[in-house]
């Protein structure tokens, strides 16, 4: 096979972006949003999300075009612009967000099966966690044997995801009732919602989770036929997924009231379609999602390990994470990843955590890689690096970078103190791996400014640990 035949076309890169973003999150979107906001706030929230995420998509597009030599994924932007510790933190946070998403997939899978077998409940009962643990290590064994993202698995799981979603949009669109949609636009009948601003703030981390994967094309940038296709695929994929997400969310609010949607068990798309057409609608969504999640668990297990593997190859992570099995699988990285997934499955069991709490935490962890990528893009503009005399383009990129940074800052505010504390608790232990990587390179642990950053992270983690111990903070 020639090298050119292994390159990814614009269509293939766009499919990677769409496939990365359209996971289990969209199937639970009606309930996840309705539990936090009503129609008016939802429309405002999606407007902010559209602008912010589009700015982020343009950031990745610009970085892909201006820094073609940076092929290691989003963490290399933080490393190039802000130093080794920020680069490591981005890789660490991205990895944690990825495997937390996998924990969420396990919970959602057995919550879906709970529709047919009530003993699984919302995916966090002892039976559900026990079965999820068995499935986790079965997937682990399959990946170690060298089973990767085969074309057939990708095809089946993509169809399993998109066909039910498109059918849902058509059927629910035909049943849409404007009177239901406009019954209580600002959520005044639900005083626990608070102001419109509070409703918008409360729904924002859910919208971040369903867009995780927007950077998907940049991960494969070195395999693109044309470098400019990486950015184009990112923007096209984002716009397509944005349309799907908004249609699923807003059409649902036109067939069931906010309190009815908020009371649904996840995957809530199944409950919405059952409300419209009867039980077969719930079965359609549930079966499609189950097949999709089973395929996703296999592919994401390897992806999580490869995040560590790629970072270890350039010295960002310790060398032991570079070890591959005879089947060319990053074995040590896979063991570490699945051990963390198992630990969090047990935490979910004893803390009675839910799918929504997991996606909030995963979303807060991904904010650091996204924020530092935006900061690096802005630094290029300010320094004039790669711009030469392109005045209009530079001004446009300055605006895009500022919008992306403001959006990331808004998301940190929207997540609230709880998720900042929990994120710091997960970020702080990463210093052990960073220290080992630095020792292997014979370099000092921190630069002066990095000591200040780490001290702030460590102090915040101590506060979070005390909060968990004293019961003031929960998952």
Residue-wise pLDDT tens digits, 439-462: 999 999 999 889 999 999 999 999
Residue-wise pLDDT tens digits, 274-323: 999 999 999 989 888 888 788 778 777 777 888 898 899 989 999 999 99
Alpha-carbon gap, residue 291 to 297, rounded angstroms: 10
Kind and range of the H or E run holding 354: none
| Burial (CB count within 10 angstroms: exposed 0-12, middle 13-18, buried 19+), residue 286 | buried
If you ran DSSP here, which 8-state letter would residue 323 be given? -
The domain locations on the chain are 11-414
Kind and range of the H or E run holding 228: helix 228-252
Alpha-carbon gap, residue 336 to 415, rounded angstroms: 27
DSSP letters, 361-372, are HHHHHHHHHHHH
Nearest to 17 by CA among 168, 264, 212: 212
Residue-wise pLDDT tens digits, 325-369: 888 888 999 999 999 999 999 988 887 666 777 778 888 888 888
The answer to whether 212 and 21 have CB atoms below 8 angstroms apart is yes
Distance of CA 27 to the CA centre of its chain: 14
Alpha-carbon gap, residue 325 to 302, rounded angstroms: 13
Confidence (pLDDT) at 298: 76
Instruction: State which CATH number among 3.40.50.300, 1.10.1740.10, 1.20.1740.10, 3.40.50.150 fits the domain covering 11-414.
Output: 1.20.1740.10
Alpha-carbon gap, residue 417 to 340, rounded angstroms: 24
The answer to whether 360 and 421 have CB atoms below 8 angstroms apart is no
Contacts of 7 (CB under 8 A, 6+ apart): 223, 224, 225
Residue-wise pLDDT tens digits, 377-424: 999 998 888 887 667 788 889 999 999 999 988 888 887 888 889 999
pTM to 2 decimals?
Answer: 0.85
Confidence (pLDDT) at 150: 44
DSSP SS3 for 8? strand
């Amino acid at each position: 096979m020639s090298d050119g035949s292994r390159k990814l076309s614009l269509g293939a890169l766009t499919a990677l972006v769409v496939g990365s973003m359209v996971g289990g999150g969209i199937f639970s979107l009606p309930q996840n949003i309705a539990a936090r906001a009503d129609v008016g706030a939802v429309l405002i929230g999606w407007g902010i999300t559209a602008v912010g995420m589009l700015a982020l998509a343009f950031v990745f597009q610009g970085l892909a075009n201006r820094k073609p030599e940076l092929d290691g994924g989003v963490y290399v932007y933080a490393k190039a612009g802000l130093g080794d510790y920020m680069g490591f933190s981005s890789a660490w946070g991205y990895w944690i967000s990825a495997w937390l998403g996998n924990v969420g997939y396990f919970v959602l899978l057995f919550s879906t099966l709970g529709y047919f077998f009530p003993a699984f409940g919302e995916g966090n009962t002892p039976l559900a966690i026990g079965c999820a643990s068995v499935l986790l290590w079965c997937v682990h064994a399959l990946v170690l044997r060298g089973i990767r993202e085969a074309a057939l698995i990708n095809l089946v799981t993509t169809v399993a995801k998109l066909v039910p979603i498109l059918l849902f949009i058509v059927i629910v669109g035909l049943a849409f009732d404007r009177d239901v949609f406009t019954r209580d636009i600002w959520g005044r009948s639900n005083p626990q919602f608070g102001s419109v601003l509070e409703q918008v703030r409360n729904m924002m981390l859910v919208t971040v989770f369903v867009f995780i994967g927007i950077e998907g094309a940049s991960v494969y940038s070195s395999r693109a036929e044309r470098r400019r296709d990486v950015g184009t695929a990112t923007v096209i994929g984002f716009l397509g997924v944005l349309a799907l997400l908004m249609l699923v969310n807003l059409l649902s609010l036109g067939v069931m009231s906010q309190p009815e949607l908020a009371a649904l068990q996840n995957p809530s798309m199944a409950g919405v379609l059952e409300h419209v057409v009867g039980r077969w609608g719930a079965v359609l969504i549930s079966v499609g999602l189950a097949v999709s999640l089973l395929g996703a668990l296999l592919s994401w297990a390897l992806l999580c390990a490869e995040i560590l593997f790629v970072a270890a190859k350039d010295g960002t992570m310790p060398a032991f994470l570079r070890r591959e099995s005879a089947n060319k699988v990053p074995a040590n990285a896979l063991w570490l990843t699945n051990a963390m997934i198992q630990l969090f499955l047990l935490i979910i069991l004893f803390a009675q955590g839910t799918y929504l709490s997991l996606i909030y935490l995963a979303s807060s962890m991904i904010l650091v890689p996204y924020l530092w990528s935006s900061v690096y893009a802005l630094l290029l503009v300010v320094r004039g690096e790669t711009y030469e005399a392109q005045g209009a383009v530079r001004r446009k990129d300055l605006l895009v970078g500022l919008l992306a940074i403001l959006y990331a800052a808004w998301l940190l505010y929207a997540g609230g103190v709880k998720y900042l504390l929990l994120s710091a608790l997960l970020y702080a232990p990463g210093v052990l791996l960073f220290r080992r990587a630095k020792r292997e390179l014979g370099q000092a642990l921190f630069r002066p400014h990095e000591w200040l950053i780490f001290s702030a992270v460590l102090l915040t983690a101590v506060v979070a640990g005390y909060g968990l111990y004293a019961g003031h903070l929960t998952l």
